[in-house]
Structure 1
Amino acid sequence: AVPKSANSTEQILSTSEFYLKLHDPYKHEKIKVASKEYALAANFSAPYGLWLAENNLGRLAYLTLINREDSLSMPHLYMLEPYNPNKKVLVLIHGLASSPEAWIRLTNDIMGDPVLRENFQVWQVFYSTNMPILESRFQINALVQQSFAQVANNAPAKKDAVLVGHSMGGVIARLMVSQADITQDAFKLVQNTRIAQFKDNPLFKARLQMQPIPNFSRAIFLATPHRGTEYADRWHTKLARKIIRIPGAFLGAFADTLQGEIGLKGFVKELGHDLIQNGPSDLSENSKFTAITEDIQPSKNIKFHSIIGNTVDTQDTKLMSDDIVSYESAYLNGAVSNKVIKGGHSIQETPEAVLELRRILRLHLSDLGLYDPE
């Protein structure tokens, strides 16, 4: 209530009783004041920027890479807005030595686009990229499935989610929407008869037998080295790989189950140069991880797209590269679209890539009958 004697804002604030009513701009576009409708204004990017600044995930990404931040060695999932059962889920997985900061442009674009903002909610995954990729896939897969398990079966958010991965995150994303059993192939590659005792160990079987997460129906891969990269074998990257350690949390997961004469340390030491190695080493085109996973294709129920960077002034696909990943490694047969964009490996930060992502996300909504491009 405002007294008639109040002649200024200062007088109103100092002498009057008033009520502050907050409205969620995600739920309300307009409000009524004195029988008149007013459009609500909102800065949808501000909370995201504050969250990034407070958590400093970019710095943590490098600390976890060299295993100096034990508290974040296991993957985390962050929802950028309160869960909404009526919105489709968009899951973003970053690449090597990166963090959710890699998705700033895309996330801002989604928040600034009414069509995407009203139909998608963003879930971001943060994980230690020094982890073996098979382990990261296993942990992130479990994390995402646990999150979807909390969603009611009749909620629109339960199905037709979209999975997006950049670089190493793209490799993990592909394996999360694929069906494959690489148990036999994995143990054939390891020239060590002493580890045969672990062949049927449920810990290994769970990591080598893959099923697509049923909640996804579309995936997008950006600058993804599906067949590895020669960049991982250059002298300076090999040097860096030597100082990157497998996280203690990963080794600890096996401590209670790997019993017998070889023991945990002995097992890792003997297997380390064959199958279990850090994430950057897995990305080598000569790694055994690449050898057993490069031919794994997304499930037939998944529509997928590739966005590929190219810094070379040529249209020859054998020469095209984003300086780290070659076109031939990033290309996947059977994709709905393969978009080549001029730019380096961090292609997800370019306006052209953001526009292509926007196009694909709108196409997804259109296919579901949730958006009319006309």
Structure 2
Amino acid sequence: MEPGKLRGLMDRVRNTIIVLVAICGPLIIPGWNCGRVFAQMLDLVPASPATSVEGNPTRLHEVQAFDRSRIAHREAKRLEKAGSPVCVDRYYEATVFAYAAILATGTTGVTDWNQIPDDYNISLADCLRAAGTFGRLDPRSHLQINGPAGPIVVRVIHRGFVWSPEDFEGLIDARSAPKNPAQHRSYQRVGAGAAQVSVRSNRNLTSADRFLPPRSFFPATAILHPDLGPWIGLAGTPRGGDLLELHDPLRTTCVELAGGRFPLACNLDASVAMAEASVGSRRYALVGFLNPSIEVGNTFLGTLEPYQPGKIPVVFVHGLRDNPYTFTDLVNGLRACPGFLDHFQIVGFRYPTGITFIRSAAMFRRCLRDMEATFDPQHRDPGLQNTVLVGHSMGGLISKLQITWSGEALWNLAATQPLETLVTSESTKTFLREIFYFEPLPFVRRVVFMGTPHDGAALANRAVGRVTSRLVRRAADSLAMIDQLERDNPGALLPYMADLPSSIDLLAKRGPILKTMRQLPINPATTYHTIAGTASMPDRFARGDGVVPLSSAHSDGAASELWIPATHSRINADPQTLQELDRILRVHLAETYGPPPGR
């Protein structure tokens, strides 16, 4: 037999014996350290460490190391199923040998992770999941492992996050994320590391915490750098202790691992899906539309990350029967755009859509002022003072009411006498004043209208719109206020106000509110843009997005107007919308801070 074929046959026989020894050894001799004997068989550990040469370690076989990793992983699965915490150690062992296998490849430079077997990522993800289950992991500080030479305390280091280490209260495997019904495109990157979702509970310790949700979910990618010494005794391997790095995959794209440089794995979908599921956004949208009294108190202006001074807030405002997660594709798409997070930060506004939208606009105005008072009371933050609003559908109308002067125009639609002459409580006067009298917010410098019905929507005029409007329960506090005003001020309220129109009623074409809003003066210091849908029809035949006619979406004076082949409900998810919004924000950034170097 040829020497090459003989060596191949001997290797196959040898590997078979190794697997049998690793599996059967502990059954024959309890407590037997099969791990070290196995490693010696692989030539990963010399029979005597003294035989190794510094800088020229004993032979390291990539395939055999991967085999050892997979054996440990199978054993870990069995132990986990049996409810044994030892599974954490076996998963860790599987990760260590997968790391050793990558090291054995001698990879240098940036390498496509698709060329590397996924054992490392899978074993590490399983290890972290099991460690969390059995109380071995505190993602703020350390991971506890029982290694071949005794206990190992693996330090946890956080890299690149705007969150503090104390915010890492728990890690959830990104693979366990539920489906996000609002998402149409996936935003993931193949690479090294175990994709995780970190969880932070809001203890409301500071005023800034009021702008974070009860639970925040944000992406993290774990990278383990093990000390190979205790496992395979290689001379020349790092002896500084095991290190578990948690990287922000939004801000880090490549990572050093086992002597090579690889793309960092990234999963933006999982954290958003978990956040959506935790707040029950679909239920909120339905209840907030049909019975808004229940959800008025849950109106919320929230940041996706802790507020960052100097970065421009991009505030998303959803439309009728919707919620902030309708912008999932846009938000993830923007966060994936190079440079976006260096200059911008995401903010979302949630409100019950069944109430009259001019009241929603007043609530939004109050929230925006509160944000400025909290983060920029001196009006000096160049980021906040150049805030951008992005409104879809009715959210565009709510955004428009942040950049216009009301004068007496809206109040004249509601009453026949001045507000101050009404017989009512001071709190009611304040309530009405906030709704009907306002000025532009000076720090809102740009607005993007997406499928916004400036002249109304066809659906509101149809039978289904009228029937749906009847299903909407008027807010209890508004009903009580109208009753008191009519009782103590006979004839003061006009029928339009007395009937307490819902948002659907206000969106009816040729309605008085929308006609009046068309005439309200817009702050000349604010720039605005239009994105309208054509429902996939060619431009010359297009009439609208199926809900909002193009004539209604049009706004005189817009700096730009783009038609995209999308229906009303899919404008938010269309790639052309993302491209246009990215373009608009780059223009806004250049006009705010000047063009970037080299442009």
TM-score band, normalised by shorter chain: 0.7 to 0.9
1:107 is paired with a residue whose SS is helix
Partner of 1:233: 461
**Matched ranges for 1:1-374 at <5 A:** 9-10=92-93, 13-15=145-147, 16-23=152-159, 24=161, 25=248, 42-67=266-291, 70-152=294-376, 153-181=379-407, 183-184=408-409, 186-187=411-412, 197=422, 201-251=429-479, 254=481, 262=487, 271=495, 276-311=500-535, 313=537, 315=539, 320-346=543-569, 347-368=571-592, 369=594, 371=596, 374=599
Label 1:29 to 1:133 Cα distance change in 2 as closer, same or farther (>3 A).
Answer: same
1:333 is paired with a residue whose SS is coil
2:533 is paired with a residue whose SS is strand
Label 1:228 to 1:366 Cα distance change in 2 as closer, same or farther (>3 A).
Answer: same
Label 1:372 to 1:229 Cα distance change in 2 as closer, same or farther (>3 A).
Answer: farther
Label 1:337 to 1:53 Cα distance change in 2 as closer, same or farther (>3 A).
Answer: same
Separation (CA, whole Å) in 2 of partners of 1:365 and 1:304: 14
Aligned residue pairs, count: 366
**Contact map agreement 1:73 1:127 (CA 8 A) in 2:** no
How far does residue 356 in structure 1 lie from its aligned partner after superposition? 1.0
Separation (CA, whole Å) in 1 of partners of 2:484 and 2:572: 44
- The residue type equivalent to 2:154 in the other structure is F
2:440 is paired with a residue whose SS is coil
Label 1:189 to 1:17 Cα distance change in 2 as closer, same or farther (>3 A).
Answer: closer
How far does residue 151 in structure 1 lie from its aligned partner after superposition? 1.3
Separation (CA, whole Å) in 2 of partners of 1:370 and 1:151: 26
**Contact map agreement 1:228 1:283 (CA 8 A) in 2:** yes
- The residue type equivalent to 1:332 in the other structure is S
- The residue type equivalent to 1:329 in the other structure is S
**Contact map agreement 2:315 2:388 (CA 8 A) in 1:** yes
**Contact map agreement 1:65 1:97 (CA 8 A) in 2:** yes
1:277 is paired with a residue whose SS is coil
Separation (CA, whole Å) in 2 of partners of 1:156 and 1:38: 36
- The residue type equivalent to 2:565 in the other structure is K
Separation (CA, whole Å) in 2 of partners of 1:141 and 1:150: 14
CA RMSD of aligned residues (A): 3.7
Larger radius of gyration: 2
How far does residue 111 in structure 1 lie from its aligned partner after superposition? 1.4
Label 1:114 to 1:286 Cα distance change in 2 as closer, same or farther (>3 A).
Answer: same
Which of structures 1 and 2 has the larger relative contact order (alpha carbons within 8 angstroms, sep 6+)? Answer: 1
Separation (CA, whole Å) in 1 of partners of 2:539 and 2:157: 58
- The residue type equivalent to 1:224 in the other structure is T
For structure 1, the residue ranges without an aligned partner over 5 or more in a row are: none
1:18 is paired with a residue whose SS is strand
1:307 is paired with a residue whose SS is strand
**Contact map agreement 2:311 2:342 (CA 8 A) in 1:** yes
- Percent identical: 23
Deviation sequence 1:75-118 (CA, Å, 0-9, x none): 21121111111311000000000001210110011111121122
How far does residue 193 in structure 1 lie from its aligned partner after superposition? 11
**Contact map agreement 1:190 1:274 (CA 8 A) in 2:** no
Deviation sequence 1:200-225 (CA, Å, 0-9, x none): 94432332122111221111000000
TM-score (ref. length: structure 2): 0.54
How far does residue 124 in structure 1 lie from its aligned partner after superposition? 0.4
1:52 is paired with a residue whose SS is helix
How far does residue 67 in structure 1 lie from its aligned partner after superposition? 0.5
**Contact map agreement 1:275 1:288 (CA 8 A) in 2:** no
- The residue type equivalent to 2:354 in the other structure is N
Separation (CA, whole Å) in 1 of partners of 2:269 and 2:385: 26
1:130 is paired with a residue whose SS is coil
After alignment, is 67-76 or 215-224 more displaced?
67-76
Separation (CA, whole Å) in 2 of partners of 1:130 and 1:68: 5
Label 1:260 to 1:96 Cα distance change in 2 as closer, same or farther (>3 A).
Answer: closer
Deviation sequence 1:164-190 (CA, Å, 0-9, x none): 000000011011111221x35533565
Label 1:193 to 1:55 Cα distance change in 2 as closer, same or farther (>3 A).
Answer: closer
How far does residue 373 in structure 1 lie from its aligned partner after superposition? 8.0
How far does residue 226 in structure 1 lie from its aligned partner after superposition? 0.8
After alignment, is 28-37 or 38-47 more displaced?
28-37
**Contact map agreement 1:73 1:249 (CA 8 A) in 2:** no
- The residue type equivalent to 2:576 in the other structure is E
- The residue type equivalent to 1:241 in the other structure is S
Separation (CA, whole Å) in 2 of partners of 1:189 and 1:261: 12
How far does residue 69 in structure 1 lie from its aligned partner after superposition? 7.0
1:21 is paired with a residue whose SS is strand
- The residue type equivalent to 1:203 in the other structure is F
How far does residue 269 in structure 1 lie from its aligned partner after superposition? 9.6
1:90 is paired with a residue whose SS is strand
Separation (CA, whole Å) in 1 of partners of 2:499 and 2:373: 31
**Contact map agreement 1:94 1:169 (CA 8 A) in 2:** yes
- The residue type equivalent to 1:104 in the other structure is T
- The residue type equivalent to 1:244 in the other structure is V
**Contact map agreement 2:403 2:440 (CA 8 A) in 1:** yes
